Amino acid sequence: MMDIRRTGHTGNLKARSRAGFILISLIMVIAASFSGLLRIRLDLTEDKRYTLSEPTREILKGINNDVYIQVFLDGEMPVPLKRLKRSVRDMLEEFRIASGKHIGYEFINPAEAPDARTREAQYEELISKGLGPVNIMSGDEEGGSSRKMIFPGMIINYNGIEMPLDFLKNNQSVSYEQNILHSVEGLEYEMIQTIATITSDTIYRIAFIEGHGEYDELYVADITRSLAKYFTIDRGKIGGRTGIADHYAAVIIAGPENQFDEADKLVIDQYIMKGGKVLWLLEEVKVNADSLAYGETVGLYRPLNLEDQLFRYGARINPEVIQDLECMVIPLTVLTGPEKKQIVPAPWLYYPRLIPSSDHPLTRNLNRVAGKFVNTIDTVGLDPAVRKTVLLTSSGSSKTIGPPMLISLREADIIPDEKDFNRANLIVAVLLEGIFPSAFRNRMTGSLVSDSAFVLKEKSVPTKMIVIADADIIRNEVHISGNTPGFYPLGKDRYTEEILGNRDFLVNCVNYLVDDNGLMELRSREVKMRLLDRQRLKASAGMWQLINVAGPVIIVLLSGLIYSYFRKRLYAGS
């Protein structure tokens, strides 16, 4: 009888076990099916690196057609670039979900080609589309290394339109790891700015002002091409016609040489009063840099008749030129023998490497900006309605000289006395934001306008402008090939091949002025570096290797022993 009862009890136990297994399985299946209908995403990172901003979400929600993104950062690469690739993938996945799956993407390895000719053709195609290649050292299976070309960028496709985007920062003043970090920090802004532009139904118009000796189209060709990705670009004269610029989101005044008459000043003033934005690139000291090819040039005071207008707005450009110990180098030809000549690099104090502010989203994480014969700016006035933000400065070791001045290449041979360079952080570019008073308030304007219905607006609506005391920041160098003129990339040092931040700075300036959805604030995002301590890692390498190798084995053995122990107790008690 005892054996029969035990057998029955064991059978009931097995039946209950099978029923419990089936019930748990059904619960798991139902839970998995239900969870597929839910989208629960929690960002547990301290710096919220996986949380999209509200402006980004609004733009992504407004996308009606599909956006297809090809990312060309794939294949074998160093670990830091793999981290960047993972961050790009995570950001794209967030974009895909926030857009209601209107964004699709794929990662492509451009080096994955059947032969060298096909690979080179693909490289040339990517370069022609606007992606910049980067050479890296890559390891091979035999322990050696080889140079490899990668394209850390993407092509964004929408309704048959393609826009390139390079997302790897290349600031030579910071470490490799910091460049990767800055690239990760800027991903959301760079990507959503491009997507917003390519999917927008409204394309803003900006204009280069002409008629006062400003740089012609060839000398601003590079920045025009860069801005054309985001805006429609026009050029033209004001001609004293009030309201002529009112339909432009921003105007650029780049390097005028002749004085502005009062009628043109009034047009610009009233454009600002109505909320127009202006990017001023002006100099009070005229230096003909091209004359340096003959060994020397002169610097002369050259007022533009804009001094009173800018003063009313809160800025004053000083007629002085900066010399800076942190400067660019220029190639000089020197004699090394009776008939031998050699080209050597020499620091040129008149070409400072300007420092972008790290406290403003417009200039955060930018490369140094190349300046030439740079003037200085003072902020003036105590108007609380105008907020002034410094964007560019000289280094901590600089000085100024005033006109008239004779500038000779022979100065490059003179070792500067560091004690003379005792002025620090001289202001070169400033952002003005707020409500501006009219420069023509309490003035007679009847003789300046032909429109009898014209009424002077004496106070602006909230708006902004940027004043830069160096016109050469926007000027690209020009070359002639046969009879065809061409231009060099803006900010690229032809001698050292270094890429400076001129182009990025100016594009950010215009985007900030025109920005009506707060995207520029995304450049304030900060991701903390959490790098391993290399010294501690090296000292305890053996311990961590043992843990990584033996740890999983020990966990499996312990799990088996614990399972066996409880199983024996369960059936022994039954």
pLDDT tens per residue across span 88-108: 999 999 999 999 899 999 999
CATH ID of 203-500, from 1.25.40, 1.10.1200, 1.10.1070, 3.40.50: 3.40.50
Across 324-339, b (16+ Cβ under 10 Å) vs e yields bbbbbbbeeeeeeeee
Is residue 492 scored above 90 in pLDDT? Answer: no
Crossing angle (nearest 10°) for helices 176-185 and 187-199: 40
Give the global pTM: 0.80
Would you say 156 and 352 are in contact if contact means Cβ atoms under 8 Å apart? no
Q: What is the pLDDT of residue 494?
A: 83
pLDDT tens digits along 22-81: 777 778 777 666 655 555 555 555 555 667 888 888 889 988 889 999 999 888 888 888
CA dist list (Å): 405 to 220, 296, 298: 27, 11, 6
pLDDT of residue 19: 67
CA distance 188 to 90: 11
Give residue for tokens 């990705």: 229
pLDDT attached to residue 293 = 79
State pLDDT tens for residues 433-461: 999 999 999 898 888 988 878 899 999 99
Instruction: Say which residue the tokens 């160093």 belong to.
Output: 78
Helix (H, G, I), strand (E, B) or coil at 139: strand
Phi and psi dihedrals of 100, rounded to 5?
70, 35
Asked whether the CA dihedral 409, 411, 413, 418 is positive or negative, the reply is negative
% residues pLDDT > 90 (the chain): 45
Question: What is the rounded CA–CA span in Å between residue 126 and residue 58?
Answer: 31
pLDDT at 2: 45
Determine the pLDDT at residue 51: 76
**What CATH code is assigned to 54-197?**
3.40.30.10
Q: For the residues 109-120, what does the mean pLDDT come to?
A: 84
Q: What is the pLDDT of residue 335?
A: 64
Residues whose CB falls within 8 Å of the CB of residue 29, separated by 6 or more in sequence, listed in order: none
Q: How confident is the model at residue 307 (pLDDT cuts 50, 70, 90)?
A: very high
Partners of residue 356 on adjacent β-strands: 392
Please, which pLDDT band fits residue 137 given cuts at 50, 70 and 90?
low
> Span 384-394, mean pLDDT?
96
pLDDT of residue 489 exceeding 60: yes
